[in-house]
Amino acid sequence: MTDALATPYLAVDLDVLSRNIERTAGWAREHGLRLRPHAKTHKSPEIARRQIESGAVGLTVATVAEGEIFCRAGATDLFVAYPVWAAGERGARLRALAQRVALRVGVDSVEGAQHLGIALAGTSATVMVEVDCGMRRTGVPAGEAFEVARAADRAGVRVAGVFTFPGHGYAPGAAARAAVEEAAALAEAAELLRTNGFADIEVSGGSTPTLAHSDATVLTEVRPGVSVFNDAQQVELGTCGWEDVALTAVGTVVSRGGGRFVLDAGAKVLGADRPGWATGAGRVPSMPDARVVLLSEHHAVVEVPAGAVLPELGERVAVAPNHVCAAANLAREYVVTVAGRVTRWPVTAAGANT
Amino acid sequence: MTDALATPYLAVDLDVLSRNIERTAGWAREHGLRLRPHAKTHKSPEIARRQIESGAVGLTVATVAEGEIFCRAGATDLFVAYPVWAAGERGARLRALAQRVALRVGVDSVEGAQHLGIALAGTSATVMVEVDCGMRRTGVPAGEAFEVARAADRAGVRVAGVFTFPGHGYAPGAAARAAVEEAAALAEAAELLRTNGFADIEVSGGSTPTLAHSDATVLTEVRPGVSVFNDAQQVELGTCGWEDVALTAVGTVVSRGGGRFVLDAGAKVLGADRPGWATGAGRVPSMPDARVVLLSEHHAVVEVPAGAVLPELGERVAVAPNHVCAAANLAREYVVTVAGRVTRWPVTAAGANT
pLDDT of A1: 67
Distance CA A48, CA A39 (A): 7
B76-97 pLDDT, tens digit per residue, is 999 999 999 999 999 999 999 9
Q: Do B131 and B260 share a domain, yes or no?
A: no
pLDDT of B274: 97
Alpha-carbon radius of gyration of chain B = 21
- Tell whether the model's pLDDT for residue A315 goes beyond 70: yes
Give the count of beta carbons closer than 10 Å to the beta carbon of residue B196: 13
Last residue of a domain, one of B225, B257, B288: B225
The verdict on whether omega for the bond into residue A172 sits within 30 degrees of 0, i.e. cis, is no
- The alpha-carbon gap from A178 to the nearest alpha carbon of chain B, in Å, equals 17
Strands A102-107 and A126-130, how do they pair?
parallel
CA-nearest residue of chain A to B108? A255
Report, as an integer, the average pLDDT of A205-209.
97
Q: Do B219 and B239 share a domain, yes or no?
A: no
Residues of B in contact with A87 (CB under 8 A): 314
In a mutagenesis test of the A interface, which of B64, B111, B115, B138 is the best target, namely the one with the most A β-carbons within 10 Å?
A: B138
pLDDT of B243: 98
Contact call for B329 and A62, based on CB within 8 A: no
Domain that holds residue A181: 15-228
Distance CA B216, CA B182 (A): 11
Is position B353 within any domain?
no
CATH code of the domain covering residue A332: 2.40.37.20
- The alpha-carbon gap from B21 to the nearest alpha carbon of chain A, in Å, equals 22
Domain count across chain B:
2
Helix (H, G, I), strand (E, B), or coil: what is residue A303? strand
- The alpha-carbon gap from A30 to the nearest alpha carbon of chain B, in Å, equals 30
Contact call for A138 and B83, based on CB within 8 A: no
Question: Global pTM?
Answer: 0.97
Q: Do B103 and B72 share a domain, yes or no?
A: yes
Contact call for B272 and A269, based on CB within 8 A: no
Q: Do B204 and B249 share a domain, yes or no?
A: no
Residues of A in contact with B82 (CB under 8 A): 254, 264, 298
Sign for the CA dihedral angle at B279, B283, B287, B292 comes to negative
Side chain identity at B23, as an amino acid letter? R
Q: Identify any residues that bridge with A248 across adjacent strands, giving them in sequence order.
A: A11
CA-nearest residue of chain A to B322? A272
Query: Looking at the partner chain, which of B82, B89, B298 has a beta carbon nearest the beta carbon of A353?
Result: B298
Mark residue A200 as left, alpha or beta (left: phi above 0; alpha: psi -120 to 50; beta: remaining): left
Tell me the residue length of chain B. 354
Is position B352 within any domain?
no
Q: Do B273 and B312 share a domain, yes or no?
A: yes
Q: Do B131 and B208 share a domain, yes or no?
A: yes
- Element containing residue A202 per DSSP (H, E): strand A202-205
Is position A352 within any domain?
no
Q: What is the mean pLDDT of chain A?
A: 97
Chains A, B: CB contacts within 8 A come to 169
Distance CA B36, CA B160 (A): 15
Q: Which residues contact B17 (CB under 8 A, 6 or more apart)?
A: B47, B50, B228, B229, B246, B247, B336
Strands A300-303 and A221-222, how do they pair?
unpaired
The burial class, CB within 10 Å (0-12 / 13-18 / 19+), for B44 is buried
Q: Which residues contact A216 (CB under 8 A, 6 or more apart)?
A: A31, A32, A33
Q: Do B241 and B216 share a domain, yes or no?
A: no
pLDDT of A2: 83
Tell me the residue length of chain A. 354
A32-76 pLDDT, tens digit per residue, is 999 999 999 999 999 999 999 999 999 999 999 999 999 999 999
Distance CA A135, CA A169 (A): 8
Sign for the CA dihedral angle at B51, B52, B56, B58 comes to positive
Among B188, B239, B191, CA closest to B213:
B239
CATH code of the domain covering residue B159: 3.20.20.10
Distances (CA, A) of A101 to A77, A163, A205, A266, A318: 6, 20, 22, 38, 39
Which parts of chain B sit beneath pLDDT 50? none
- Tell whether the model's pLDDT for residue A227 goes beyond 70: yes
Residues of A in contact with B65 (CB under 8 A): 6
Q: Do A216 and A245 share a domain, yes or no?
A: no
- ipTM topping 0.90: yes
Last residue of a domain, one of A228, A243, A274: A228
Is position A353 within any domain?
no
Q: Do B147 and B264 share a domain, yes or no?
A: no
Query: Looking at the partner chain, which of B255, B271, B314 has a beta carbon nearest the beta carbon of A87?
Result: B314
Is position A324 within any domain?
yes
The single-letter DSSP state of residue A73 is: T
Reported as half-sphere exposure (CB side, CA atoms, 13 A), residue B14 has a value of: 14
Is position A295 within any domain?
yes
The burial class, CB within 10 Å (0-12 / 13-18 / 19+), for A123 is middle
Is position B354 within any domain?
no
Strands (E), chain B: 9-13, 34-35, 59-61, 77-83, 102-107, 126-130, 158-163, 202-205, 221-222, 247-257, 260-263, 291-295, 300-303, 316-319, 333-338, 341-346
Contact call for A137 and B301, based on CB within 8 A: yes
Q: Do B151 and B240 share a domain, yes or no?
A: no
Q: Do A216 and A321 share a domain, yes or no?
A: no
Q: Do B199 and B254 share a domain, yes or no?
A: no
The torsion defined by the Cα of A18, A24, A26 and A29, in degrees rounded to 10, comes to -140
Reported as half-sphere exposure (CB side, CA atoms, 13 A), residue A331 has a value of: 32
Query: Looking at the partner chain, which of B87, B256, B272 has a beta carbon nearest the beta carbon of A273?
Result: B272
pLDDT of A329: 98
Is position B351 within any domain?
no
Backbone angles phi, psi at B220, to 5 degrees: -115, -15
The torsion defined by the Cα of B177, B180, B185 and B188, in degrees rounded to 10, comes to -150
Residues of A in contact with B273 (CB under 8 A): 267, 272
Last residue of a domain, one of B225, B242, B276: B225
- Element containing residue A291 per DSSP (H, E): strand A291-295
pLDDT of B339: 79
Distance CA B206, CA B183 (A): 10
The burial class, CB within 10 Å (0-12 / 13-18 / 19+), for A89 is middle
Contact call for A255 and B109, based on CB within 8 A: yes
Instruction: For Cα atoms A268, A225, B268, give the angle at the middle one, nearest 5 degrees.
Output: 30
